[in-house]
Structure 1
Amino acid sequence: MPPTPDPIEDDLDSLPPPPPVFHVEQALLGALLLEPHRAASLTGIPAEAFSTAGHAALLTAIRSLPAPEPAQHSRNTAWLNQVLAAAGEQTRGLTTTYLHHLIQCCPEPQHAPAYARIIEEEHSRRLLRAAAHRLIQTTLDTSLPHRVATTLAEAGALTTVVDDIATRFPTRSGSLSRTPASTPVTAHDEEAGEEERLLLATATARPGSVERMRWLIPGDFTDPLHAGLWQCLITLTRRGTPIDPVTVLWGAQHRGLVATGTAEPRELLGFLSEADGCPPEYWGEQILLRSLLTTAHRSGRRIEKLTGDPATTTYQLVVGARRALADLSAVRVRWQHATTPPPANARVSNRISAPPRAGPLPTTAPPAVRIPR
């Protein structure tokens, strides 16, 4: 009869191995248990920086208890028993055997500051990943009453995390940044396409609005054809060329939008002539809003992908995150230009200054002017 497999043993075998930082945490705790006086110099690492509740509880217990005398600590385990009792009040599962195991895991107690630095770096990675995840979720939450404002607030919080990491971990020369693979382009949104067609039609009917909408660029469009047509409108406006559906079609041909079979001439003339009653600025803001949320989502994904790569150093995380946030910052500036009302024109004074009063007649003749010979 074949042996019956033990379900508990099978479950343990299926668990993934702990990450490298877990062993670093064990080495640091072992150093502090072996030489408790070293805990006083490790003030920069918080308990939540540890990956398990047991390790966090042990660090808190070690800090809460006064360090014993080295000679006394080497003779008995009284202080270790106090640490175990204090940590056991916060979490369960810690044993005396595990404390001795931690001591054995520490190769060099004097390397405790280096161990703490590694744990801080990994904690920074988790904080950055969590902030990026919150930004991603905010961009997808359609139930938010102020979706753009909340998204920008989360982006600001993410920027604060990046700046804090850069302050605590200064850059080092010779460390190249890592660039994650480009995010695949999302499927075309029919609602976005309809808004873009309405903008192109209304802007063709009212070309004066194109010059006022410098905050909208072709990169904000989801359809490459629509982006090319918007560039046509910008070019025609700057050249002073008359604008109507026919001239825009001719400009589209020069940009290769018709010759490559991207769009049929009749189709372009059709939707360029279907302007509605809304001003172009309204549709432009809708397109820019969608672009802002898409860019924020893409930036969060890029940062999240960076944090998921264990080969990425802390410096590379900072550089990569700042590059991703720079794209979002550029769209945010354009959004502020689009949604900020223009300043009220200064009032021009209508008062006409009175002519100067005539003074008394001169009593002496004016001096003669000598003309040089």
Structure 2
Amino acid sequence: MPHNLDPEEDDLDTIPASQPVFHVEQALLGALLLDPRRLGDVTGIYADSFSTAAHAALFAAINALPPPDPDEHARNITWLNQVLAAGREQARGLTVSYLHTLIQVCPWPRHAAAYARMVEAEHARRRLRAAAEHLLQTAHDDTLAHPVPTVLAEADVLAAVVDDIATRFLPRAGALPRAPASPPAIVPDHTEATEEEQLLLATATARPADIESVRWLLAEDFTQPLHAGLWQCLTTLVRRHEPVDPVTVLWEAQQRGLLHDGREPSDVLRLLAEPAGSVEHWSQRVLARSLLTTVDHAARRIQAYSDDPLITPFQLVAGARRALADIGAVRTRWQHATGRPLPQRARAAPTTRAGPSTRLAPVASPPSARPATGRTP
């Protein structure tokens, strides 16, 4: 190929190639530069499917320009000049040298469809991780006046990404993902949670008749093992229709082994002796915190899946849906607690058989849709 394109000194050959997908993107772009007719074989990806701005700009330029006549393209570089000029509008560092590199590193232009599928798979992984990161950030946003509805709306955004990936990568046999280690969770400050749980336990001990109205609260929602055990003591006594007061709860706690760690009985009696507010109010506070904790754990699990290169796109879907199911279970209890069902988007039907992927023709990237996350009550 002649080297008489409009030259510049900037050279993208020095872009770090730390991930295999970088080389896959180079091979795909090289195939399209060598044989622009291969663009018809490429589906399911957009400019933003690429990992670098330069690659995205080149793909957008190739996709936007009319394909050249094959014979003319074999004889001159007019079309390549047009691609370079269009690509530079978005990535000024693109050079003649880099286009030559792309052409030289492409093993087989006829494999363009396979390269595109690999790019699509890696883009799905990045999309999923980005959505999980945003969910995690929202769950830890202390500025939200009403965090639960906002966080659940963000969980729906993540679920929509999972559903879209599921339509593009249909299941195969043995698709269950392995369980990679989740990133370490941020150790929360449980001071406020401890105080609220203690107020709930004391208030429920003073007003045991109100416990029946908060059956949606579970022991697993508490942050402290002792508090979870005392809640089980209270609900057990109520279910048996036995007397409830600090002494009867203390006795039940002893039967359950809650005092075997050296805890003084007087500490438990003091904990149960200062009621305030209502059982329902404190129960909702405990459940809200439990929901946010569940979201945190689910988002970190999905991050771990997306960071594991051995997990396939459909395995990402399977693992993410399992994590999102944990959020859904607490969400249902939250709806019972508040009496205000939160709007839920329509879920895509689960895929059950293998087959060709449902992929869109390469067109301009669709605008990202994100539901409003304003502070609604």
TM-score, length of structure 2 as denominator length = 0.83
Cα deviation, 1:291-346, whole Å, max 9, x if unaligned, reads: 1111112211111122122222212211111111111111111111001179xxxx
Q: Which runs of 5+ in 1 are unaligned?
A: 1-11, 343-373
Cα deviation, 1:201-244, whole Å, max 9, x if unaligned, reads: 11111111112111100110000000001011111111111111
- In structure 2, the CA distance between the partners of 1:330 and 1:308, relative to structure 1 (3 Å rule), is same
The residue aligned with 1:103 is: 103
CA distance in structure 1 between the partners assigned to 2:41 and 2:267 by the alignment: 72
SS at 1:259's partner residue? coil
The residue aligned with 2:8 is: none
Count of residues in Structure 1 that have an aligned counterpart in Structure 2:
328
Contact 1:188 1:222 in 2 (8 A): no
| 1:17, distance to aligned residue in structure 2 (A) | 4.0
Matches within 5 A, 1:1-373: 17-181=17-181, 186=187, 189-261=190-262, 263-276=263-276, 278-340=277-339
Q: Which runs of 5+ in 2 are unaligned?
A: 1-12, 342-377
- In structure 2, the CA distance between the partners of 1:26 and 1:341, relative to structure 1 (3 Å rule), is closer
CA distance in structure 2 between the partners assigned to 1:65 and 1:190 by the alignment: 61
CA distance in structure 1 between the partners assigned to 2:90 and 2:340 by the alignment: 55
- In structure 2, the CA distance between the partners of 1:341 and 1:243, relative to structure 1 (3 Å rule), is farther
Contact 2:128 2:161 in 1 (8 A): yes
- In structure 2, the CA distance between the partners of 1:30 and 1:341, relative to structure 1 (3 Å rule), is closer
CA distance in structure 2 between the partners assigned to 1:288 and 1:242 by the alignment: 26
CA distance in structure 2 between the partners assigned to 1:335 and 1:252 by the alignment: 28
Q: Which one has a bigger Cα radius of gyration?
A: 1
The residue aligned with 1:362 is: none
CA distance in structure 2 between the partners assigned to 1:210 and 1:17 by the alignment: 60
The residue aligned with 1:371 is: none
| 1:283, distance to aligned residue in structure 2 (A) | 0.6
CA distance in structure 2 between the partners assigned to 1:90 and 1:229 by the alignment: 62
CA distance in structure 1 between the partners assigned to 2:67 and 2:222 by the alignment: 63
- In structure 2, the CA distance between the partners of 1:220 and 1:94, relative to structure 1 (3 Å rule), is same
SS at 1:23's partner residue? helix
Structure 1 counterpart of 2:99, one-letter code = L
| 1:187, distance to aligned residue in structure 2 (A) | 5.2
SS at 1:167's partner residue? helix
SS at 1:107's partner residue? coil
Aligned alpha-carbon RMSD (Å): 1.9
